[in-house]
Amino acid sequence: MRVFVTGATGFIGSAIVQELINTGHQVVGLARSDANVKSLEAAGAEAHRGDLEDLESLRKGAAASDGVIHAGFIHDFARFKEVCEIDRRAIEAMGAALAGSDRPLIVTSSTSLVSPGHLATEEMPPESDSSLHPRVASEEAAAVAAAQGVRVSVLRLPLSVHGKGDSAFVPMLINLAQEKGVSAYIGDGLNRWTAVHRLDAANLFKLALEKAAAPGTKYHGVAEEGIVFKDIAEVIGRHLNIPVVSISPEEAVNHFGWLASFAAFDAPASSKLTQERLGWQPVHPTLLDDMEKGSYFKS
């Protein structure tokens, strides 16, 4: 297949590109800069100039493909609602280009949107709409595309997609612990995070593309249903040789800043249906093993 991939040079997208190429697919990656073009060409992919706000470039990339994996997202939390609406429009544009063709579109979302505090499954809808949680915009756009006959699937990723090159929540927690001199958790620290290794996630995107399901199908890219946050804090404390402490919910914002809500998040999720439907088997290290033996604490 000729596959158009957004976010193709990112942490997850670059792994998807390599997974697709290694299994015989032709990849066209969205590239917003000369550096992105060089990176994609070095990986063996073709570059398509544009970005997530250039809707015409997205339409053209999708129209010239046999399928699309939308792994791109603008990670700017200072304008989170705005970038979520940019994502909605990007999905709408690519969906319009694929309408009536039976070609698959894989849209990325998050398991954290589904049933916080309870085990989320693939068949559950997001807990709220985009007026309350802007990130739901991506799933709303996917639902509109599905209603228009686009063979769109939603692949929800965990709070932690980990592996070499990770620059998201776990590295942020490590940097914060170094700055504060303690590795903290909130209350009893028994709230749960989900996780998946980036290479397992890349394999799942490929399977979802190849086994394109009925419009509106949901997948969970979850290798670990619920990792206790206190365990993450303890690994950080041990590697940095600093105290591991409990802080109250009232102290959390002062300690964690904007990460406080994520540090308190309890969002277990299952991938049982995903594994059954696609034959997906996560094989790479768990989050804690990756933290213990990977590159997280190497200078």
What is the pLDDT at residue 78? 84
Q: Amino acid identity, residue 131?
A: S
Contact present, 221 and 69 (Cβ < 8 Å): no
Q: Return mean pLDDT, the chain.
A: 96
The answer, yes or no, to whether residue 207 has pLDDT greater than 70, is yes
Structure tokens at 97: 């280009």
- Categorize the per-residue pLDDT at 129 as very low, low, confident or very high, splitting at 50, 70 and 90: confident
Q: What is the pLDDT of residues 45-92, one digit of tens each?
A: 999 999 999 999 999 999 999 999 999 999 888 899 999 999 999 999
- Work out the average pLDDT over 260-281: 96
**192-197/160-162 β-pairing:** parallel
What is the pLDDT at residue 298? 80
What is the pLDDT at residue 299? 61
Alpha-carbon distance of 169 to 263, in angstroms, equals 9
- Work out the average pLDDT over 96-111: 96
Q: How deeply is 167 buried, as exposed, middle or buried, from its count of CB atoms within 10 A (0-12, 13-18, 19+)?
A: exposed
Comparing CA positions, the residue from 129, 162, 165 lying closest to residue 39 is 165
The answer, yes or no, to whether residue 131 has pLDDT greater than 90, is no
pTM of the full structure: 0.96
> What is the percentage of the chain residues whose pLDDT exceeds 90?
93
Structure tokens at 132: 């309350």
- Categorize the per-residue pLDDT at 163 as very low, low, confident or very high, splitting at 50, 70 and 90: very high
The answer, yes or no, to whether residue 282 has pLDDT greater than 80, is yes
- Work out the average pLDDT over 156-171: 96
Q: What is the pLDDT of residues 137-151, one digit of tens each?
A: 999 999 999 999 999
Comparing CA positions, the residue from 2, 27, 18 lying closest to residue 104 is 2
- Categorize the per-residue pLDDT at 36 as very low, low, confident or very high, splitting at 50, 70 and 90: very high
What is the pLDDT at residue 212? 81
Alpha-carbon distance of 227 to 243, in angstroms, equals 20
* Domains within the chain, CATH numbers bracketed: 2-160+195-222 (3.40.50.720), 162-194+225-267+284-293 (3.90.25)
Element (H, E) at 93: helix 80-98
